[in-house]
Amino acid sequence: MHRPTLRLLLLIPAAGPLSGCVSDTMWNGSRLKPLAGSPVYPGGSPVFANQSSARPPVPDTVARGQAQTDLPLYAGREQRPGRPLTTTFPFPITRQVVDRGQERFNIYCSPCHGRTGDGNGMIVQRGFPQPPSYYLPRLRQAPVGHFFDVITNGYGVMYSFNDKVKPEDRWAIAAYIRVLQATRPVGVTTGQVRVQHALSTTPTGDMSPSAARTRTGTAP
């Protein structure tokens, strides 16, 4: 074999890794970033007045198949003039729904509201503003749509959970809050009484994580 040919052959395996460095067109290639100025037109896209490469959807645009016209289910409001907060649940509340609500509540709400809903969760103990107890007469009497509305839109310093908790789960949480409220004698506004889950199978009403697991495990 001629020496030059041999050298060429030796170079071939080295070319593989090298090509990774030189052909990075996918990485550096020109492309449009969403709503950013267009590199195709250095001075910005001539199509739109603000030189952006695309348009945001027209306000209130609804994607096909995503219209949420069921007001009670998606807004917690009655389908009638004035749209008052609904006082009923939009679907039957079963044991399964309450269990799901308990699980979601413990994940998303208890860090501030506490596992019993008295408003003394761990984040509050670390300095976050204290939410009101769910056992206040005002919140016992609030229409159930209020809880759905607070989760959906936030309330005062509490931020919205509509991107984290889907509508059905918001209702499940609202149902669980009703269960918590029903387990406190009227007049009690704190979490001092240990939770006696109305539907619980654990007679102590122990709300420790292990007890919660047992409860879920023994659910019918």
Q: Which of 44, 128, 140, 162 binds ligand HEC (CB under 6 A)?
A: 128
**Is residue 73 part of the contact set for ligand HEC (CB under 6 A)?**
no
Q: Which range in 59-67, 85-93, 125-133, 198-206 contacts ligand HEC by CB under 6 A? A: 125-133
Write the DSSP string, 86-124: PSS-SS---HHHHHHHHHHHHHHTHHHH-TTSSS--HHH
Q: Helix, strand or coil for residue 21?
A: helix
Positions 138 through 177 that interact with ligand HEC (CB under 6 A): 147, 150-151, 155-158, 161, 165, 173
Residues 85-124 that bind ligand HEC (CB under 6 A): 108-109, 111-113, 123
131 touches ligand HEC by CB under 6 A = yes
Task: Supply angle C-alpha 70, 91, 194, rounded to 5.
Answer: 125
Does 137 interact with ligand HEC (rule: CB under 6 A)?
no
Q: Where are the alpha helices (DSSP H) in the chain?
A: 3-22, 25-28, 71-75, 95-108, 110-113, 122-125, 137-141, 144-153, 167-182, 209-218
Write down the least CB distance from residue 128 to ligand HEC, Å: 5
Q: Which is nearer to ligand HEC, 38 or 135 (by Cβ)? A: 135
Buried b (16+ CB within 10 A) or exposed e, 103-129: bbbbebbbebbbbbbbbbbebbeeeee
Q: What is the smallest separation between the CB atom of 72 and ligand HEC, expressed in angstroms?
A: 18
Binding footprint of ligand HEC on the chain (CB under 6 A): 108-109, 111-113, 123, 128-129, 131-132, 147, 150-151, 155-158, 161, 165, 173
